[in-house]
Structure 1
Amino acid sequence: MKRKNIVIMASIFIVLFVGVIIFAINQKNSRKAALSEGDNYYEVVESSGLSFKGMSVIKEEQKIFIDSILGSVEKVNITDKAEVKKGDLILTYFNDSVQEQIDNLKLQYASTKDKVNRANGDMEKTKLAINKKENSIAEKNTKLSNLNDMENMDEKATVQQEIAIEEQELQMLKSELQNYEVTSVTFKDTLKELDGQVDGLKKKLRKDVTAELDGIAYIKTEGLTNPGVEYINIVSKEPLVKGMASEYDVLKLKVGQEVLVKVVSTGQTLKGTVTAIDDLPSTTPNGTGVAYNFYVKPEGPIRIGFSVEIKENIDTLEVPKDFVSIENGSLMVAKVIDDGVEKIEVNGVLEEDYYLISRDKIAPGDKLTKEASAGLEKE
C-alpha cells in the first residue's frame, strides 16, 4: 500500500513538471509572436501636444436689475427663454413721481393761461377805450377849429379844457395798455417755460431698456422684488470656451491658433480657434497658483458649464520611418483593411526616426504594416 502511494505521488509530480515546461514553452512562443507582430505592425496614435483643461462659459451677457429710481415696470416685452436681437425692446419703466410733477406743471400752465387770457381781454378793452378817446379828442379839435376866437371865447375855452382832460385820460389808457402788454408777454414766456419743463419730464416719464446683444433672455421673477437678483439675464448664443495655461505653456499659444475641443462628458470633439489670451494671470481654481486664461471659439455649441479638454490641432501624425517606403519618389504606407492591405500614397516629412504624415490619408487607430509590396496577399 505504501509503495502504491509513492507511485501515485511520483506520477502526479511528473505530470505537474511536464505541465510547467509546456506552459513555459507556450509563454515563450507567445512573447515571440507578440514581438514579431509588434515589429511588423504599427497602430497610428494621436499626436501628443499641448493639452489644457477648460470649461464652456458665457461669452457675453446683459444682466438687467430692477431700478426703482426709474419707476415701476410698466410692460415686459419678452417671454422667458425668448431669443432677442440687439436693440430689441425688453421692458419699459413708468415713473409715477415724474407723472405727479407733470400734473402739477399742467395745473400751473392752466392758471397761467387764464392770466394770459385776462390780460389779453384787458388789452382789447383798453384799445377800444383808447380808440374811443382818440375819436372824441379829434371831434373836439374839429369843433375848436370852427369856433371864432372873438365870438365864442367862452365856449372855445371850455372845449380846450375838455380836450386837455381827455388827452390826460388817453395817456393813462395808453400806459395801462402797455402794462397789459408786458403782463401778457410775461405770462406767455411762463407758458413756454412750463411747456419746456413738461416736455423734459415726459422724456423721463418712461424709460425703455433694450437688448445690448443677440442672445436668449432668461426671466427670474424673484428679481422683481429682490434688488440683489437680476430680473432678466440675456446670454449670448455664441459659444465660448475658457482654458487656463501655465506661464510656460501660454508662450506657446497664439491668437488665431487652431485647437481641438473635446467635451469630457459626451466625448464630442470640435475644432476651435484661440480668440484671446489674457495679459495678466489669474488665481487657479484650487488657489495654489496662478495661470493665464485664454479663450477659444468652438465651431459648434457646447452647453454652458461643461468641462472640456483643449488640445493643439496638430495636422500631422507620427509614423516610424520603417513603416514608410519610397516608390518612384512618392511616400507610401501599407494600411491594413478588413480583407487585406491597401497601399496609400501620403505626404510627409522625415523627422529623425519618424515621418510626420498629413492626416488626409491616415487617422489615429489605423493599422500599418511593413509589408508594403504591391503583391502582398489579402487575408
Structure 2
Amino acid sequence: MSKSRVKKKLTKKQKVRYSIIGGILLLLLLIGAIIYKANSTNNSKKDEKDSYEILIVKEKDPLILKGIVQPKDTQYFNFDQSQGKISNISVQNGQNVKTGEVIATYQNATAEDQADEQSQSLDKFNLAVSNAQDNLNVATDKQGELETQLANARIDNDKASIEASKQALSAQKDVVNQAQQALDSANLDLSNASKSIERAQKRVTTTVTAPSDGIVYINEKGKVDPTVAYATLVSPETVVNGTVSEYDFKKVKKDQEVDIKSISDDKKIKGKVTNVNQLPETSGQAGADANKSSVSNYSFTVQPEENMQYGTNVQISIKSTTLEIPKSAVLKEEDGNYVFLYKDGKAKKQAVTVSEAGNIDVVNKGLNAKDVIIVKPDKEIKDGKEVKVADNK
C-alpha cells in the first residue's frame, strides 16, 4: 500500500501573519529606493552648485551694409544752346581719352553772321583812322611853319610879327591837340571793333575737351536734348557708394577697413572708408503725417583695393570690435566693476569698464576677445581659487 503525500493547508492566522511581513518588506524596499534617489539628487545638485557656467568673450557680429560700385569721378556734358549746334562728336562710345582731347565741336551760325557783319564795318574804322592821321599830319606841318615864322620874326626883331606869330602858333597847337584826340578816338574804335570781331569769331567754333583721363560714353540723343548728356566721362578708378541708417551711423568711420563682397559672384576685396557724409540723404518731410516716421540714411564711400565692374551690387562688411557680456557676469563693487576670468582651472578677478546697452554690458576696457569668463559668479568664488566649470563654452 503506497503512502500518499498530504499538503498541509495554512491557517487563516498564518495567512494574516505572512501578509503583514510581506507588506513590511515592500515598505522597506520603497523607503530605501526613495532614500537612494534623494541622495543621488542631492549629490547631483551639489555637483551642479560646485560647477560654474563659462563664456568665451567674442566680438559682435560684423555690420553688413549694401553698396554699389560706381566711377570715382564722373563728368557729364550736356548740350549748351548758347554755344550753337553740335557739329561733330570726335570720340567713339567707350573710347579711352586723355586730358585735353577734343570730345565735341559746336558751330554757332549767329556768331558767324555777327563776325561777318563786324568784319565789313572794319573798313570804315580803318578809313577813320587814316583820315584822322592825315588831319594830324597837316596840323603838325602847319604848326612847324608857324614856329619857323616866329623864329624869323625874332631874328628881325619885328615885334608886331612876333606877337602875330605867337597867337597863330598857340591857336595851331590847339588844332594839333584836337587832331591827336581824334586820331586816338579813331584808333580806340578800331581796336574795339577788332576785339569784337575776334570774340565773335571765337564763338563761331567752340571745342569741348576732356578735363581728365577716362572712358567716354556717347548718347546721340543728347546732341539736341539738353536734359540728356551727349557725353559722359568716367574715371577708370572705381569706388563703392554705400548707405547706413541713423541707427548704425556711428559705427561707420573714416579710414575704417572693410570687406567688400560682390553679390553676383561672391568675390571678396578689401577696402577702406574714405568719406562719411554728415548730412542725411532722406529725412522726415515737413507737413508729413505726424503718425508716420522715417529713418534717415547717410551715404559713405569706400575705396576698394582693386577696381570693380561699374554697377555691381555688393555687401560691405564692417568688422565690429565691440565686446558684449551678460550683466550677470559683472560684479559691481564700491571701487569698480569686476569679472572673474577662468584660466588654468582657477578664477582670476579682473577689473573692467563697461557701459550698459539694454540687457547686456558693452566692455570698454579690461577684456579681450577669446577671454573666458564665469557667467554667474557667486560669493564662494575668490581670486585665485580653483573652480569647476560646466562644459558649456
Displacement of 1:270 in angstroms is 0.8
Match of 1:302 in 2: 308
Q: Is the 8 A contact 2:261 2:315 kept in 1?
A: yes
Q: Is the 8 A contact 1:52 1:309 kept in 2?
A: yes
Are 1:273 and 2:279 an aligned pair?
no
Q: Using the alignment, how far apart are the partners of 2:119 and 2:204 within structure 1? A: 15
Displacement of 1:86 in angstroms is 4.4
Q: Using the alignment, how far apart are the partners of 2:72 and 2:105 within structure 1? A: 26
Displacement of 1:294 in angstroms is 2.2
Indicate how the Cα distance of structure 1 residues 182 and 283 shifts in structure 2: closer, same or farther if over 3 A, else same: closer
Q: Using the alignment, how far apart are the partners of 2:146 and 2:68 within structure 1? A: 96
Aligned 1:1-379 pairs, distance under 5 A: 48-121=61-134, 182-283=181-282, 289-312=295-318, 350-352=370-372
User: TM-score scaled to structure 1, two decimals?
Assistant: 0.54
Q: Is the 8 A contact 2:70 2:240 kept in 1?
A: yes
Q: Is the 8 A contact 2:63 2:319 kept in 1?
A: no
Segments of structure 1 that go 5 or more residues without pairing to the other structure are: 1-45, 146-159, 161-166, 316-325, 327-347, 354-379
Deviations 1:41-97 (A, max 9, x none): xxxxx9942212222234331110010102223543432212234454433334332
Per the alignment, in what secondary structure is the counterpart of residue 80 of structure 1? coil
Deviations 1:264-305 (A, max 9, x none): 111111111112222233349xx9643322221112222222
Per the alignment, in what secondary structure is the counterpart of residue 100 of structure 1? helix
Displacement of 1:114 in angstroms is 1.8
Number of residues of Structure 1 aligned to a counterpart in Structure 2: 260
Q: Pick the structure with more helix per residue.
A: 1
Q: Using the alignment, how far apart are the partners of 2:143 and 2:241 within structure 1? A: 88
Q: Is the 8 A contact 2:63 2:320 kept in 1?
A: no
User: AA paired with 2:316?
Assistant: I
Q: Is the 8 A contact 1:90 1:208 kept in 2?
A: yes
User: TM-score scaled to structure 2, two decimals?
Assistant: 0.52
Q: Using the alignment, how far apart are the partners of 1:173 and 1:281 within structure 2? A: 79
Displacement of 1:247 in angstroms is 2.6
Percent identical residues: 27
Displacement of 1:311 in angstroms is 1.3
Per the alignment, in what secondary structure is the counterpart of residue 251 of structure 1? helix
Q: Using the alignment, how far apart are the partners of 1:350 and 1:134 within structure 2? A: 112
Per the alignment, in what secondary structure is the counterpart of residue 197 of structure 1? helix
Q: CA RMSD in A?
A: 4.5
Displacement of 1:207 in angstroms is 3.6
